[in-house]
Structure 1
């Protein structure tokens, strides 16, 4: 069984060398794969790698990937850089300005925090690349969690679809059983109306036979029932497939709608029309479920 729902949630957490990363994945229905990644700005260069990992694991759905990145105090300290040469230039110029203006020279180390570009918290491309191993580990854990949840939902989907497909087969069987009697019933009703109108009918009557032949041709649903049976068999095969079948199943449901609509338009019988309505109602429920299959 490889039935997967497109809705689910996954979380993964990893810590390497003082860098803690938490990844949350959420997925909802989409015909195609749509990946939305939320990374801290200084890690944006890694977005393509995230897309590649998610694309490898999933084939359909709108996937939201949210990263939360935290550094330990020691890790943050390692990322702080003081440009001493630039600070020396600033301090020298400030002292000269203070002397010229007759100001008290009370410059302290705290002044460094207010000098532009002297104290920097480095979050450049190189540090982003160094962060990838811990991001990848957390992402892998989150993807595994998401896939497990989607698989669990898929089991419930498959169980429900099997039950509904069995209902469709039963309905088709009832239509197939009833269909041969439609012509006989039409002949009986036609003769009754003619007799009530006082028209004498010879047996066999060429006009009556011609009318019955035309009716039989117009109301023949043999081909449609055969194709519906074939579609239902294909649906059974898809239930056993190890591949993603969502798109194929969706197309198959559309084909079944087309065939059962033709049956409804050809059927000149109340019992068959009731069965057609029942079939379409169940097929509509299947269509809703299929929208959630990967």
Structure 2
């Protein structure tokens, strides 16, 4: 499911900020963007996110903001790196014929010249701040996803009601099939010019019984109703149900295919076509559910 969450937490002049966004995807895919010096704690961030999100593409962005309090009395410069920058930039300016002077302001803006407080280089020291900011971001994300989940549940429940209605139409039609088949068989016999067949002829009755046995869809209809009830339970659940609904959609598809192949009846065939079209829309929507 889609969602966005943001959290931040500050202590001793250092502020940790975490942004999390998620988009629909069938499997779980987590991408973490953070300062390279903190990569040792990336696995912890992934574990925390996995506790909240089981499906979808999730992007986590972690950043640090160092305030005056953290910098106070702790400013350090990487002199060797600054000298290297100055030498290379002077050479480049000479090669390009540039006369713009190299200033201290320019040098201090280059990566690594100004060294941050030592605490920001220690993942273990920073982790409590990131952990709290991450918790707040995840709670914000969960709240947004919960709102979307409620909307999806209403939409999917409406689709299941339509599938159930079509299933009941098929169930109401099914008991009439043997009599309709018997009537159609008699009409074909008469059309062939045979007029001496008794309506209660054993061979005719046997053929009708065989047809009734081949076209019996009572078990499939019973299983369909069971799957619908499981869907209803999923809609009331607070746990992740995306994979369960995906599985149920596959089982429902299996049953309706069997019904379509068994029931040689135009009315049921039309209902099956409509059922499968609605089921496909249901399956597509399920891919958005965690």
Q: What is the deviation of 1:191?
A: 0.8
Matches within 5 A, 1:231-250: 231-250=227-246
Take 1:132 and 1:186, find their aligned partners in 2: how far apart are those partners? 74
Q: Provide closer, same or farther for how the CA distance between residues 183 and 77 of structure 1 changes in structure 2, counting only shifts above 3 A.
A: same
Distance 1:196 1:55 in 2: 69
Count of residue pairs brought into register by the alignment:
261
Aligned to 1:102: none
Instruction: Kindly indicate whether the alpha-carbon contact (under 8 Å) linking 2:6 and 2:18 is maintained by their aligned counterparts in 1.
Output: yes
Q: How far apart in 2 are the matches of 1:59 and 1:31? A: 10
Residues 1:152 and 2:150 are matched in the alignment: no
Query: Match of 1:47, SS?
Result: helix
- TM-score (normalised: structure 2): 0.82
Q: For residues 124 and 134 of structure 1, what CA distance do their matches in structure 2 show?
A: 12
Q: How does 1:1-294 map to 2 (within 5 A)?
A: 6-76=1-71, 78-81=73-76, 120-121=115-116, 127-199=122-194, 200-294=196-290
Unaligned runs of 5+ in 2: 81-103
- The CA RMSD over aligned residues, in Å, is 2.5
Q: How far off is 1:83 after superposition?
A: 8.7
- CA drift of 1:61 comes to 2.0
Relative distance call for 1:123 and 1:37 in structure 2 (3 A) is farther
CA contact (8 A) 2:78 2:113 kept: yes
* RCO comparison, higher one (Cα < 8 Å, 6+): 1
Aligned-partner Cα distance in 2 for 1:263–1:227:
11
Q: Following the alignment from structure 2 to structure 1, what is the Cα–Cα distance between the partners of residues 168 and 63?
A: 56
Please state whether the residue corresponding to 2:280 is helix, strand or coil.
helix
Distance (whole Å) between structure 2 residues aligned to residue 119 and residue 183 of structure 1: 88
Change (3 A) 1:118 1:69: closer
1:19-59: CA deviation from partner (whole Å, max 9, x where unpaired): 22221111123344322111111111221221222122222
1-structure distance, mates of 2:274, 2:26: 28
- Name the CA shift for 1:166/1:34 in 2 (closer, same or farther; >3 Å): same
TM-score between the two structures when normalised by the length of structure 1:
0.81
Equivalent residues of 2:37, 2:121 under 8 A apart: no
Q: Which runs of 5+ in 1 are unaligned?
A: 1-5, 87-109
User: Does 55-64 or 120-129 show the bigger shift?
Assistant: 120-129
Q: How far apart are the structure 2 equivalents of 1:118 and 1:176?
A: 77
1:179 Cα deviation from its structure 2 partner: 0.7
Q: Deviations over 1:169-228 (max 9, x none)?
A: 111111111111111111111111211221020242122122212211221111111111
| Cα distance in 2 between the residues matched to 1:254 and 1:228 | 11
Please tell me whether Structure 1 or Structure 2 has the larger radius of gyration of its CA atoms.
Answer: 1
Residues 82 and 184 of structure 1: CA distance in aligned 2, closer, same or farther (over 3 Å)? closer
Whether the 8 Å contact between 1:29 and 1:292 is mirrored in structure 2 is: yes
